[in-house]
Structures are given as C-alpha cells and as structure tokens.
Chains A and B, each alone.
Chain A
Amino acid sequence: MSRSITLGQYFPGQSLVHQLNPRMKLISLLFVLALLFSLRSYSGLVALFFIALFLIAKTRVPFRYFLRGLRPVLFIAIFALVIYFFFTSGGIVLLRVGFITVESEGVREGIFIILRLVTLVLFSLLLTLTTTPLSLTYGLSYFLKPLRYIGLPTDEVAMIMAIALRFIPTLMEESQRLMRAQVSRGADFESGSIFRRAKSLVPLIVPLFVSAFRRADELALAMEARGYRIGAIRTRMHEDTFFPRDWVVLAVALVMLAASLTLGL
C-alpha cells in the first residue's frame, strides 16, 4: 500500500498540520500567498518566515525535504539577487568594482525578494508535504464545484484526476517491471544513440498500453458494478469535517492578511 502514495511529495505524519482539513489548508495557503505579496515591511516578512519555520518544525517532516523543494527556485533566487544587487541604486555604496557598484538599497530589496520567494515556497511545501495527492484533488474539486452551473462535469473531472493519481504509481511500477524483464533478456536502455534508445522503448510502450487499456476496462466494469453512474450525486466514505482548529487557522491567516492590508505593514 505504501508504494501507491509515494507520488507527489506527501510525507506521512500525525502532526496538527497533517490533520488540518485539506480545503482549509488550501484556502489558508491562498490567504498567506496574498499576504506575502501585500507585505511591504521587513519585520512583517521576517515574522511570516518564522511562522513558516515554526509550522515546519511542527510537521516533523525532516527539513531536508523542504530543502529539496527549495532547490528548483535556487537559480531564480541567485538571478534575482544579482539583478537587485547591481542594478538598484540608492542608499550608501557598499562595494565598488570598476564601474559596477553595489548599494545598500539594492541589497535590502534583493534580500527582501528572496525571503519572500523562499517563504512562499515553504508555505506551498507545507501544503504538499502534509496532504496526500488524493485529498488535495478532492479539496481542489470542491472549489471547482461552482463551475458545474456552467455545465462542467466537475465531479467526473475530480474522479478522473483521482483515478489518474491512483494509477500513475501503478503504471510506473509496471514500466519498471517490464524494463527489468527486458533487461534480463539482454536489452539495453542506457547506451547508444538517441534514436537507438527511443527504439528500445517500443518493447515497453506496447505492453504498457495493452495493460493500461485492460485495466481501464476492468475498472470501468468494476465501478459500474458498484453503481457508479455519470451525473449521479455521489457521497464520500470519508467526509471531511471541519474542526475548531481548522477555523482557527483560517481566521489567523485572514486576520494577518487584513492587518497587512489595512495597516500597510
């Protein structure tokens, strides 16, 4: 079972952050992101950054998982830093090399931007690391519900996403199995020209498709046998409930956003 949920970044745990209602986590994240962009003061941003660190500690997810999530933005961060350091003027001159100068205003703004970016990524990771892809999908589909009134089959779309999520690891496992079966018969997927390597994938793709179609058929049958009908109202086995703690988190996020907007922090 454990293998089927390794998709995405979910790191299992029992912390408060893990147990928050996924819908609430999604909305709160939205508020926090808005807050990040409305904040103008250093102190506010640093406070938010520390809130993120505090929550991260609470999740008990090893910090390296967050670091790994930060890696993709490292390049952007360095790039932004360089731009701000060298091209923003104002304040006192800190460094002068030839005709390039680094001035205090640039450093201030550069660091501000990066701190904002890092905090943003950390909060997003807080969501994705503590919520299973499936709950995220259901959470998202809830917010898409209004689209039903303009004719979009939102429940069905959610079902499709959930099934896709469920089967991606299965298909990955299957392709690995196939690959091994062929490697054991002397196939080589690693060397040779791109053309050769592409050709060596054919023996993978054919059986993968065959089994995917067979699975799809079987699944459709099984679902219909259990009463699944397009357009029917479905209930869920695990209805997500809201606890006081969910409202508290939401309220805190909302209050922070409101404070920032009205007080211009």
Chain B
Amino acid sequence: MFIGTEKLTHTYMPGTPFANEALKEVTFDLSQGEFALIIGPSGSGKSTLIQHLNGLLKPSSGKVYFEGNTVGSNKAELFNLRKRVGLVFQMPEEHFFSETVYDEIAFAPRNLGFEESKVQVRVTEALEEVGLETRTLLNRHPFQLSSGQKRLVALASVLSLKPEVLILDEPTAGLDSSGRRNLYSLLTKLNRSKRLTVLICTHHLDEAAALADTVIVLQHGRLILKGAAKEIFSRREQLYQLGLGLPAVTEIMHGLSEGGMKVRTDIFDLEGARQEINKLKGRHVK
C-alpha cells in the first residue's frame, strides 16, 4: 500500500462528443523499493495512469493513494506528492528551457524553496547520481549535449527533487543501445542502493524485462494482468494477442525449446541466456 490507485477511472474531455474513457477502474499498488513495469499497446492508458500518480490529472472517479493516504486535490497535498514522486516524461529533453545544465537541474530544488547553497548541493548530487561529469557540463547549454547526455540531464533534473518514487514514461525512446543499457543500469542502481521505487512505462521489453519485479499490463484502459515478471512473461500467447510480444532473448529461448533443446524459457536477459546456452553446449560436448 505504498503507492497505487483504487478503481481509478479517467475520462478525457467529459461531456463532449470527444469524451474518451482512457482508464477504467484501474486498481493496483506497489510497495516501497519495488521495480515495476507498465506495458500495454499504444493508447492503452499508460501515460494517463502515471500522470495520475503525480497528481497531474484529476480522477473522474476512484482514487490515487500514496503511503496509505488518499491524495486529495488541494495544493499542499499535491505539492507534497510531487515532491516525493518524481516523474520523467517521454522525451523529457524536449522540455528543456534553461540556458545552462545547472539551471535546468536547479529548477526543481529552487521550486522547493531551497537556498542557493543547498540548490547547488542538490544539483551536484543529482549529476553524480546519473554519472555525468560535473565540472565540464554545468555551464554548457543543454542543447549542446548528445542525446544520451540530454536524457541523463533530464533524469537528474527530476532526481534533484530527491523523490522516493521515480516514474518514467518510455525512458529509452530515441536512445541507442548503449544509451539504453546505461540508463537501465543506472535505474537498477538507484533502485537497489537507495530503495527508490521505480515504475516504468515502456514498449521496449528487451532491457527492462530482466530488471522488473512486477509487470502490469494495460489494454484499452483496463488493467488486465499484474504479477511477477516471470509469471507475466510466461503468458506468451496472451501477450502476443495483445500485440506486445516477449523480450527478444526470451523469444530465442522459446525457439530453442521448440526446436527440441532442453532450455528454460523464463529467461529475460542476455547473461542468463548465455549461461543457459553454455550449459547446453556442455551437454553436447563430450
């Protein structure tokens, strides 16, 4: 009961001919320190759901809770929620507006009302957390960075809030494979070392699947599956019907298994697959 929703329904543009029920009675919860994934076809309501967890949208019905308390709609409560639940939007670098990397990351702590000396500490810490070199970058213009660096700066600009929950919408969109791996290892580190609760919406299962404790599947605004990653990814048929598929590695293991080799199919990362296949080689080599 750390953070979650109860029968959360959201209708966009209610009372007009364009009314669109994007979420239908979604109920789920995460415990502190959990690493969770929300997957679902495009338009299934993922982005809508996570904006609710940050108090950016108002439930049409149902509720959002944090630390066991229902999140109300008054300003102080929402401010408190946003302070503790950090949200990284899709393509966050498109939202940059500052002249320097420093100002960009300082935006949140300044909004929290900190003195400049404390803001500076937060900025440095956040940059270190995402593994960027502090001194050379701080006075650069955000637009001068590479796309991987931009993404990290965007992440730092949320981490400078020191949130307890970190929610990311398609964090790897537009990154190359090393950028993706780097980002995910960073998120794992934050999750393990700081007990940061992490919730990620994504279409790209390849990097994310192996890291997740929990997977939530949305379709047409309904929560249709929720469970341990192993359990969810064992429902291959169902995921395919939803147009979601499996991580590529898992798909290969299924292929091998169907080809008659004795391998496990509940493997989601390259390393696991390599070990499993090596075992196979061991068996064949006399």
Contact = CB atoms under 8 A, between A and B. Distances in A.
Interface of A: 2-3, 6, 11-12, 177-178, 180-188, 191, 202-204, 206-207, 210-211
Q: Which 4 A-B pairs have the closest CB atoms?
A: A186-B111, A206-B97, A203-B97, A185-B108
Contacts of B95: 177-178, 181-182, 207
B66 interface: no
Given A180-B51, A183-B82, A186-B82, A211 B161 contact: no
A180 B97 contact: no
A191 B83 CA distance: 18
B157 interface: yes
A56 B97 CA distance: 47
Given A2-B18, A2-B20, A177-B89, A184 B54 contact: yes
Given A177-B89, A186-B108, A6 B83 contact: no
28 contacts: A2-B18, A2-B20, A3-B18, A6-B16, A11-B17, A177-B95, A180-B51, A180-B89, A181-B92, A182-B107, A184-B54, A184-B86, A184-B87, A184-B158, A185-B82, A185-B107, A185-B108, A185-B111, A185-B158, A186-B107, A186-B112, A187-B111, A203-B97, A203-B98, A207-B96, A207-B97, A210-B94, A211-B94
Interface string B56-88: 100000000000000000010001001100110
B87 to A, nearest CB: 4
Contacts of B157: 185
B189 to A, nearest CB: 22
SS class, residues of chain A in contact with chain B: helix
Given A3-B18, A180-B56, A186 B161 contact: yes
A40 B97 CA distance: 60
B13 interface: yes
A178 to B, nearest CB: 6
Contacts of B56: 180, 183-184
Given A178-B95, A181-B95, A202-B97, A186 B79 contact: yes
Which of B86, B96, B97, B112 has the most C-beta atoms of chain A within 10 angstroms of its own C-beta? B97
B108 to A, nearest CB: 4
Contacts of A210: 94
Nearest to B13: A6
Contact of B89 (A181, A191, A203): A181
A174 to B, nearest CB: 9
Given A203-B107, A206-B97, A210-B94, 5 more contacts: A6-B16, A181-B87, A183-B82, A184-B54, A184-B89
A206 B142 CA distance: 13
Nearest to A3: B18
Residue of A182, A183, A204 contacting most chain B CB atoms (<10 Å): A183
A182 B92 CA distance: 11
